[in-house]
A and B are shown apart, each in its own frame.
Chain A
Amino acid sequence: MTQLALVIDLNVCVGCHACVTSCKQWNTSGWAGPMVDENPYDANPTGTFFNRVQTYEVGSFPSTETVHFPKSCLHCEDPPCVPVCPTGASYKREDNGVVLVDYDKCIGCKYCSWACPYGVRELDEQQKVMKKCTLCIDRITDHTLPEAERKPACVIACPTNARLYGDVHDPDSEVSVAIRERGGYALMPEWGTNPANHYLPRQKTHMHVTEEDLQRSDNPLTKEDITVYQGEETMEDVTW
């Protein structure tokens, strides 16, 4: 079975919000109608977004680190938001594991948003239906697009390649390898939701510099230096 997902590399995310804007642009222009934006140029702008980039500070000054943290629906493998939906509007696609909302069935009861621990479902204040990340289902399943473009808008937009996309059930996929080899982890594992999306931790690169790195141990001139001069050598003996 296929389980499509994102893997977010916190090590390289610079918090530029390119994924947020490209997501909004793609999904507000699509078949499902616009995503509301109220007072966009005024005080208190508010609207529906599938993806948000948050910022955290870890540690205390001076040893702090800024962590930019993109967050969207994690397309859980055991999504608690799906069974609670009274209408069946929330569902998980059998073929690729993407969790979706059927906007024509949703009654806007908000129960699914209560049943998601991650706060990634947002009620559209104008259409009055629940909205959330679709993993750009209309791009990734569109076979008229060239293969390279059959990816979520955010993945294509990310300038630092912090967003990897693929099938986490295929052990050889880029995402599976990244999770396996770079310590990929899930959010709030305590609830057993089994999120498909994973995060790659920040890694500090420590450089260890030895004396030999600074001074080549096989430096021929160094070797020359340790020769003990007895006075009888000619230049032919010490150079070549």
Chain B
Amino acid sequence: MHPAFSVIFLTTLIGAGQGLFLALFTGQFYSTVELVEPQPASFYAVGSALSLALLVGGLAASFFHLGRPERAWRAAAMWRTSWLSREVIVLPAMMGIVFLYGVFHWAGWTQPFIVLGEGTLPIDATFVLGMLGVLVTLALFVSTGMIYASVKFLQEWHSPYTIVNFIFLGTASGFMLAAAYSALLGNHLVGFFGTWAVIATLLGLGTRTASLMRNASIKHRSNLQTAIGIRHRGIVQKSQGFSADSFNTREFFHHQSPETLKLIRVMFMVLVFPLPIALVLLAYALASPTLPILAFVVQYIGLIAERWYFFAEAEHPQNLYYQQIS
């Protein structure tokens, strides 16, 4: 497939935004049960604003993918059958919840209205919003992943790995960002978020490596024989029916050499996994306020490469029909 930067930015930006929200609420949960020190309201409010900004940025990027962005509102119609439609509904829902979560923290509407677990777990409005937000975040990860995973003849994508990779990689970059944000503020949560970021990155390393291995030995079900229905081993296309290019040659081919693909793969395998982990560990050892920021930036650049490769790697069966310009 042709890797479109609109979709690359959409999926990586909202992934980081979702991960950041998960990080904020994880922080809130841990401080509610007094495992980490409590943070001021502004920490959550500004953090939510950052998460919201990433989600809005992703949404904005997605508009560049549409031929007719002015009609985008129509895309909510077919949620019964289309994962794309579901994403279009869940993304604004998530934005709304993140917005409310930030506003409630900012305004200080955090009086617990019920206390659970013998006085140890006070529940306030932000806690409820946070729980809802976690559910919506997961729903958004699943919707985004299923857009790709549900197309069964894009065999590289048609696997549960697609969804778990989106979840782990988005979560990793969100927690990295939370660590960077904490480092910038100079609070004591850097190590907490950093640890979770490393855990999510390692999980992502496991599932992404597994999906690379799966796809390296994938056996495509379609071939030229089934495409034109002639049972003969020696079939070559002599003409695809037109003398230059068309939508079919632009949208479904990456037009890059195998060497470029390999290079990008090596690049993201370094930038997304070992390098940010090393930077986080180093930051912890040196108590550096800037290295976590670098870790996030490095990993985000790596994720752009990772998403580029995700698209380029997928071999669409329609390509069988477009082999020979003449």
Contact = CB atoms under 8 A, between A and B. Distances in A.
A43 B88 CA distance: 40
B36 to A, nearest CB: 41
Interface in A104-121: 105-111, 113-119, 121
Contact of B237 (A54, A111, A127): A54
Report which residue of A44, A84, A114 has the largest number of chain B beta carbons within 10 angstroms of its beta carbon: A114
A190 B220 CA distance: 11
Given A54-B239, A113-B247, A188 B222 contact: yes
A87 B75 contact: yes
B244 interface: yes
A93 interface: no
Contacts of A48: 247
Contact of B241 (A53, A86, A201): A53
Interface string B216-229: 00000110101111
Interface stretch (A26-34, A55-63, A203-211): A55-63
A107 B64 CA distance: 11
Contacts of B29: none
B188 to A, nearest CB: 44
Contact of B75 (A43, A86, A114, A117): A86
A87 B237 contact: no
Contacts, number: 174
B75 to A, nearest CB: 4
Nearest to A84: B82
B262 interface: no
A165 interface: no
Contacts of A185: 229
Given A44-B245, A54-B241, A57-B235, A190 B221 contact: yes
Interface in B104-124: none
Contacts of A107: 66-69, 71-72, 74-75
A123 interface: yes
Interface in B157-203: none
Contact of B78 (A58, A59, A85, A114): A85
B257 interface: no
A131 to B, nearest CB: 9
B318 A117 contact: yes
A61 to B, nearest CB: 10
Contact of A111 (B84, B229, B247): B84
B150 A123 contact: no
A235 B244 CA distance: 80
B37 interface: no
Given A86-B88, A129-B68, A189-B226, A57 B321 contact: no
A146 interface: no
B245 A83 contact: no
A202 B246 CA distance: 29
Contacts of B317: 117-119, 188, 191
B209 interface: no
Given A87-B78, A187-B228, A122 B235 contact: no
Contact of B240 (A54, A105, A113, A190): A54
A49 B241 CA distance: 10
A185 B231 CA distance: 12
Nearest to A198: B229
Contacts of B81: 83-84
Contacts of B245: 44, 46
Contacts of B247: 48, 113, 121-123, 125
B151 interface: yes
Contact of B229 (A57, A113, A191, A201): A201
Interface in B301-326: 316-319, 321-322
Contacts of B154: 114
Report which residue of A47, A84, A116 has the largest number of chain B beta carbons within 10 angstroms of its beta carbon: A84
A127 B67 CA distance: 8
A43 B244 CA distance: 8
Contact of B1 (A114, A123, A127, A202): A114
Nearest to A52: B241
Contacts of A84: 81-84, 150-151
Contacts of B256: none
Given A20-B241, A113-B251, A190-B221, A59 B234 contact: yes
Interface of B: 1, 65-69, 71-72, 74-78, 81-85, 88, 147, 150-154, 221-222, 224, 226-230, 232, 234-248, 251-252, 316-319, 321-322
12 contacts: A45-B243, A46-B246, A52-B242, A54-B237, A71-B241, A80-B152, A86-B84, A107-B67, A117-B222, A128-B67, A186-B229, A187-B229
The 8 A-B residue pairs whose C-beta atoms are closest, nearest first, are A108-B67, A119-B318, A128-B67, A52-B241, A83-B81, A86-B85, A86-B75, A87-B74
Interface of A: 17, 20, 39, 43-49, 52-60, 66-67, 69, 71, 80, 83-89, 105-111, 113-119, 121-123, 125, 127-129, 185-191, 199, 201-202
